[in-house]
C-alpha cells in the first residue's frame, strides 16, 4: 500500500509516468528556511520530447535555478512532470518556457531561471533561456555549467 508523506500524493508512492504535461501534477513542500535567501538547482541532462513536425526525438540538458520564498518544488513530482514530455510534440522554446512558467505558478519564487540547452536539430543547436523575477541581493549564483555546443571539435 502506498503511503502519503506530508499530504503529498506521489512521494513514497508508486507513481506511473503521466501521459502528458497537462496530466502531470507538480507538488510543493514548505520551505523550512524562508528567512534565508538561497538558490536551489535542478539539472536534467537527459530531457526528451518529440519534434511536433517530424515526430523525431529531441534532447536537451535543462538547468532550473530558483530562489524560493514559501515553497519548494517536490523533486519526485518534477521528475515525473519532466518525463511526461517524452511523448509530446513541442518546439524547444515552448517546452523550456512552459516548464519555467509552470514552476513559477506553483511556488511563486522570488526568482527563477531556466536554461534549455538543446542538442542539434537539422544541424543547429537551439538554446532557450527564460527568467522570472529578481535574484535576491547577496545570493551566490554559480554559472549553469553547460558548455556551448561544439560538436566533435
Q: What is the pLDDT of residues 79-124, one digit of tens each?
A: 999 999 999 999 999 999 999 999 999 999 999 999 999 999 888 8
Q: What is the pLDDT of residues 119-141, one digit of tens each?
A: 998 888 899 999 999 999 999 99
Within a domain: 43? yes
Q: Cell numbers 538561497 correspond to what residue?
A: 38
For the chain, what is the domain count?
1
Q: Cα torsion for 80, 85, 87, 89, to the nearest 10°?
A: 170
Q: Which three cell numbers stand for residue 110?
A: 522570488
Backbone Cα Rg of the chain: 16
Q: What CATH number does the domain containing 127 carry?
A: 3.30.1130.10
Q: Which of 58, 94, 127, 143 is catalytic?
A: 58
The half-sphere exposure of 34 on its side-chain side, counting CA atoms within 13 A, is 9
Q: pLDDT band at residue 13, thresholds of 50, 70 and 90? A: low
**Complete DSSP assignment for 61-129:** EEEEEEE-SSEEE-HHHHHHHHHTTTT-B--HHHHHHHHHHHHHHHH--SEEEEEEEEPPBTTB--EEE
Q: What is the pLDDT of residues 50-65, one digit of tens each?
A: 999 999 999 999 999 9
Q: Which of 35, 44, 49, 51 is catalytic?
A: 51
> Is 51 among the residues known to form the active site?
yes
Angstrom distance (rounded) from CA 33 to CA 37: 8
**b/e per residue 8-33 (b: at least 16 CB within 10 A):** bebbeeeeeebeebeebebbbbebee
Angstrom distance (rounded) from CA 47 to CA 85: 8
Q: Which three cell numbers stand for residue 113?
A: 531561471
Domain span at residue 48 reads: 28-133
> Is 58 among the residues known to form the active site?
yes
- Regarding pTM above 0.85, the answer is yes
Amino acid at each position: 500500500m502506498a503511503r502519503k508523506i506530508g499530504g503529498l500524493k506521489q512521494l513514497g508512492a508508486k507513481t506511473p509516468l503521466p501521459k502528458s504535461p497537462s496530466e502531470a501534477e507538480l507538488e510543493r513542500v514548505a520551505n523550512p528556511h524562508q528567512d534565508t535567501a538561497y538558490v536551489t538547482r535542478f539539472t536534467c541532462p537527459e530531457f526528451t520530447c518529440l519534434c511536433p513536425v517530424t515526430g523525431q526525438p529531441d534532447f536537451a540538458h535543462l538547468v532550473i535555478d530558483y530562489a524560493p520564498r514559501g515553497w519548494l518544488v517536490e523533486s519526485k513530482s518534477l521528475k515525473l512532470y519532466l518525463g511526461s514530455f517524452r511523448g509530446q510534440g513541442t518546439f524547444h522554446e515552448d517546452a523550456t518556457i512552459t516548464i519555467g512558467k509552470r514552476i513559477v505558478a506553483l511556488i511563486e519564487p522570488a526568482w527563477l531561471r531556466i536554461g534549455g540547452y538543446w542538442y542539434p536539430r537539422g544541424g543547429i543547436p537551439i538554446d532557450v533561456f527564460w527568467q522570472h523575477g529578481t535574484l535576491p541581493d547577496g545570493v551566490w549564483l554559480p554559472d549553469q555549467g553547460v558548455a556551448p555546443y561544439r560538436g566533435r571539435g
